[in-house]
Structure formats: C-alpha cells, structure tokens
C-alpha cells in the first residue's frame, strides 16, 4: 500500500510553525529566520512533503524549465558559461537565472528550498559551495549539475584550479621570481573549496607560503590602486617587495596594470602581472593568464543535466576540463 502524501498541515505541525510560515519558508526563504527555515526544511525532508506544484512538474514530460544559480553573473567568466548553456539549449528549455552576490552565504536559503518549490525541472549551480543537507535534498528531489565546483555525490563540470595556480607559479619561478602577491576581491566568507582559494593554494605549492603574500581589496573603482598601495607596503623574506602580482581574475589584473601606469611603473619591467580566465580583453592587452573553456563548460553542464533529468537515479559523473597558460607580454624577469 502506498504511503499517503504528507500535507502542508503535517509539515506545519512537525515544525511547530503556522501554515503561512511553511509556505513563506519554501517560496520566500530570505524572509524567514534561519532557525525557522531549517526546522521547516527538516520537517519537509522527514515527511517527504511534495507541494502540488512539484507534483505537476513531475507529471510534465521532458525538459521544460531549468534554474541556474550563480554569483556575479556580470563577471565575464559566468556570462560566458551561461552563453555556452544557452547555445547548447537552443530553445529546448526555459532558463531561469538567479544571481547571488556572495558565493558562501546568500544563495543558501534559495538552494535549500528550490528542490521543493516545483517550478523547475533541473538545476545548474555555478561556483556556489553546498552544505551537506542541501546537497542531500538536491540529490533526492531535483536533478542538479555543479559547474565550477565539485561535490563527491553530484555530477560536476570543473577545472583544476590548484593546477592553474601551479602553472602560474612554475612560469614565474622559471622567470626568476621568488616572491609574489596574490590579489583577491573581498568576500564575506572564504571557503577552502572556492576556485580563488584553490588558485592561491597552487601558487603556495610551488613558491612556498612565506613567498605568497595575500592582498584582499574591496570591489569597485580604484581596486587596482588600492592593491598597489598594499603591494608597496609588503616585504618578502629578503626585505624586497614581491616582484609579481597574480590576480584571481583577469579584470583585477588589468586594474592592477592601470594602477601601475598611474604610479609610473612599467609592466613587466618594474612589476610582472598575471591573471586568470583569458577573457578577450586580456588577449587584447597582452596579459599573461590562465585560460579555461568557459563556453564548453556551460554546454557540457546543460548536456549532463539533460541526462540527469532523463535518468535521475543514475550515477553522478565528474567531467574535468583542461586549462592552458597563455604566455604574453606582462611577465618578465624581476627587477634588479
């Protein structure tokens, strides 16, 4: 005999909240306190609650609507991945994009509740770390593919950012650099699994922790100038400033180059600069950088999601895409 579906009234009773609070926690999680939202979602999981909207979605054949959750879709890297997805989809699905500013915290309420809202058939998550309860809920309820992140129990498309950092470190070392500054933009929380942190880890693996100096700057106008002010204050183990700056993405590296020009410094004679991503502007400006196949990764994520929707209980797969070091004009020997 089939177990009867749980109702919203049972969820309300189990969580100790009103029916309206249950609805609010599922559909507008940002308006509910974290502790309350957690109780509601735990009750949803324990009872196997399926909203009417989700039942309709499950009855709908084929690939209808998919959600993409990403931080900073204005970044070229995310926009290019999304472009690859849209090109691959070619009208096969309606794609809903959710942009969340902070990769570590603000997307959590959304990701915790998307699996039970019932208005999408699948989900692509770009660069957003998952906690285990959310990962478990996604695995049970909503076909999901991770892009630019990994989780051992979920299908993922990613690059080896640690290796990317190592490639940069090896190139700088071969040019004679022993001490570098790693410039990253400020975030509310730094997680060991983030691509930015992994890129720094790769540098450290080659050059040593004592020779990789972290500079964290706020986003916005004047970023490069602020980074260079911090760089001027740094001293490596031998009493000299780092001879190279490695930025966690190309636009930060370009901002540093602009700031260096305002200070009368010449790149690479006075300071070497390296970026990550290999955006078109990096190619135009001759920036040495680490490139990755953004559009291909977005297309691959869509194809894998289509497979997950067709076979939601299939084994998760991991797809590793290659990186390349684009050696151009912004790295030279350290100044005497």
pTM (two decimals): 0.78
Q: So what's the pLDDT on residue 242?
A: 95
What's the confidence (pLDDT) of residue 137? 86
Residue for token pair 């690059």: 159
Cα distance between residue 157 and residue 154, in whole Å: 10
- How far apart, in whole angstroms, are the C-alpha atoms of residue 221 and residue 226? 10
Q: Residue 108: which CATH number?
A: 3.40.50.2300
* Domain, as residue range, for 219: 161-291
Check: CB of residue 297 under 8 Å from CB of residue 84: yes
pLDDT for 20 equals 82
SS3 of 99-141: ECCCCCCCCHHHHHHHHHHCCCCEEEEECCCCCHHHHHHHHHH
Which of 189, 188, 252, 180 lies closest to 222 in space, CA to CA? Answer: 252
Indicate whether 185 and 278 sit together in one domain.
yes
Q: Examine the domain organization and report whether 90 and 167 are in the same domain.
A: no
- Write down the pLDDT at residue 334: 94
- Output the tens digit of pLDDT for each of the chain's 336 residues: 345 567 877 888 888 888 888 888 877 777 888 888 888 888 888 887 876 655 545 444 455 788 898 876 667 888 899 899 989 988 788 888 887 654 445 456 777 777 777 678 899 998 877 778 888 888 888 899 999 888 888 999 999 999 999 999 999 999 999 999 999 998 755 556 788 999 999 999 999 999 999 999 998 888 999 999 999 988 765 667 899 999 999 999 999 999 999 999 999 999 999 999 998 899 999 999 999 999 999 999 999 999 999 888 889 999 999 999 999 999 999 997
For residues 155 and 301, membership in a common domain is answered with yes
pLDDT of amino acid 79: 86
Q: How many domains does the chain divide into?
A: 3
> What's the CATH code of the domain at 21?
1.10.260.40
Cα R_g (the chain), whole angstroms: 23
Structural domain includes residue 5:
yes
- pLDDT for position 72: 67
pLDDT for the residue numbered 106: 45
């Amino acid at each position: 005999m089939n177990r009867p579906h749980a109702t919203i009234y049972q969820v309300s009773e189990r969580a100790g909240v009103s029916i309206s609070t249950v609805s609010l926690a599922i559909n507008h999680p940002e308006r509910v306190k974290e502790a309350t939202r957690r109780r509601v979602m735990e009750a949803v999981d324990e009872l196997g609650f399926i909203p009417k909207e989700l039942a309709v979605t499950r009855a709908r054949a084929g690939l209808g609507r998919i959600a993409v959750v990403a931080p900073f879709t204005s970044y070229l890297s995310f926009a290019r991945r999304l472009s690859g997805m849209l090109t691959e989809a070619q009208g096969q699905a309606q794609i809903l994009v959710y942009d969340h500013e902070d990769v570590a915290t603000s997307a959590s309420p959304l990701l915790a509740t998307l699996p039970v809202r019932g208005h999408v058939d699948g989900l692509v998550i770009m660069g957003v770390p998952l906690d285990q309860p959310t990962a478990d809920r996604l695995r049970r309820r909503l076909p999901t593919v991770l892009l630019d992140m990994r989780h051992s129990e979920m299908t993922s498309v990613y690059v080896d950012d640690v290796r990317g950092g190592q490639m940069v470190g090896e190139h700088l070392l071969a040019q004679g650099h022993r001490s570098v500054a790693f410039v990253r933009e400020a975030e509310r929380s730094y997680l060991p699994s983030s691509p930015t942190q992994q890129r720094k880890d790769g540098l450290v693996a080659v050059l040593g922790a004592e020779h990789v100096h972290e500079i964290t700057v706020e986003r916005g106008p004047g970023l490069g100038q602020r980074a260079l002010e911090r760089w001027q204050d740094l001293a490596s183990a031998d009493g000299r400033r780092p001879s190279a700056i490695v930025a966690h993405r190309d636009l930060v590296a370009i901002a540093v180059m602009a700031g260096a020009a305002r200070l009368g410094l010449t790149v690479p004679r006075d300071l070497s600069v390296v970026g990550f991503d290999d955006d078109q502007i990096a190619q135009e400006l001759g920036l040495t950088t680490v490139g990755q196949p953004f559009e291909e990764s977005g297309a691959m994520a869509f194809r894998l999601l289509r497979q997950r929707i067709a076979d939601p209980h299939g084994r998760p797969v991991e797809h590793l895409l290659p990186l390349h070091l684009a050696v151009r004009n912004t790295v030279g020997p350290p100044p005497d």
